[in-house]
Amino acid sequence: MAHTLDTVRLDREIHRTAAPNGITVLSEREPSVRSVAIGVWVRTASAHEPRPKMGVSHLLEHMVFKGTERRTAQEIALSLESRGGSLDAYTSRDSTAYHARVLDADLSRALDVITDMVRRPLLRDTDLSLERQVVLEEISTVEDTPDDEVFDLAYEIMWPSHPYGFQILGTKETVSALSTTDLKHLHDRAYFPGNCIIAAAGNLTHEALLAEVEKQGWFDGVGKQAPLNPPPVPPVPPALRGVTSAFEKDTAQTHIVFATDTIPYADRRKYAMLVISNVFGGGMSSRLFQRVREELGLAYAIYSFVSFYRAVGLAGVYVGTQPARAEQAAAAIRDEFARMAREGLRGDALIDAKQQTLGQLMLSLESPTARMYRLASTAVYSEPYRSLDEVLKTVEALKADEVSAIAQEFFAPERQTVVSLGPNGGKA
């Protein structure tokens, strides 16, 4: 290859290459399958947006599908589906991703299509006027889905002045005000190789992937004037904690979220957080499910959640319940928070919780797509790569004291911000 590449073997079938222009390429070979999952991650998303431009990253993600210099929107749609593959994208708080799942023989075609979309979108005014309406409908869908909307409200309450509290889709007002100039400005300063990660998993070799990446021009640009660097995520202030906010909506249920800020993605304590969350509300055997649904009959849907971002994390509980029983459900959840914070996990409870998490971690990596996501995440969040065996050993080695310290700090009921949405102000 004409470019000087720094390639490291991270594991038996896993490699990472860093190019002089800043792009990172990761792959995991799985010779037992006949497919490949491949994607491009842009290290810029909603966390980098000023409030007036809220939703611009998500709108750009939509717009790259509307046509390139070489392909119409229909040709993009047909390019991989006609071969039995799939093409998709998403915008998160920390990154924007474009990814495909194809037969191993179609790796070159998949990377060509994704590269064409990411690097050479047309971004025309005529397309924007149509796609803006699609995104506005998407926003309306969330407004019609209260169990989604209550999460947006929780983020906004916790980080009212930080982009982590903004809506990834934007608002109807901000999206209506965005122009193709806004999209092109974001594309110019964010969609360049040094701000991107390419990850792939499946029946491929790293050498073959690098050859395709080079053919698509991803290693070009060394020695040329560098594009503008993407803005850093603004420093994240402590989330608003221990407050209760109720929002009025004419719904059949009251939807309640308990949430608090926790630890970022690269923090090793996240495994203790996952273990606790599983026990707390991770399935039918969890404490919340057994108490709130099985014993008290107060809810159909109740679960705990954890999210880890580049600069911070989030953990909490969702429940949907009849308005007349919302206060009773919230009280039962608070009792379980207090119990977890007070007792932590010890003895057989900890052993069982660790085994559940170990099983989930192993099962979660059964597909090439999941393995591709895991590789990309290490680069997106600047986390050193750790093999599955290392991760499993970390979980197995968790001690009762460190798990209980996490429970005491982050599951204290007084720390939780509570947001409810429903009739009568959704009071919980």
How many Å apart are CA 242 and CA 52, to the nearest integer? 28
CA distance 15 to 163: 33
Phi, psi at 419, each rounded to 5°: -125, 125
Q: Where are the beta strands (DSSP E) in 219-280?
A: 244-248, 254-261
- How far apart are alpha carbons 147 and 279 in whole angstroms? 22
Centroid of chain to Cα 199: 16
User: How do beta strands 24-29 and 196-202 pair?
Assistant: parallel
End-to-end alpha carbon distance in the chain: 62
- 61 has catalytic annotation: yes
List the structure tokens of 219. 């290693």
278 within 8 A of 267, measured Cβ to Cβ: no
Asked if residue 148 lies in contact with residue 318, where contact means CB atoms within 8 angstroms, the answer is: no
In a 3-state reduction of DSSP, which class is residue 285? coil
Chain centre distance of CA 275: 19
> Of 61, 149, 212, 336, which is the active-site residue?
61
Tokens (6 digits) for 235? 């420093």
Q: Residue 91 and residue 168: Cα distance in Å, rounded?
A: 7
Contact 381, 264 (CB under 8 A): yes
Catalytic center residues = 61
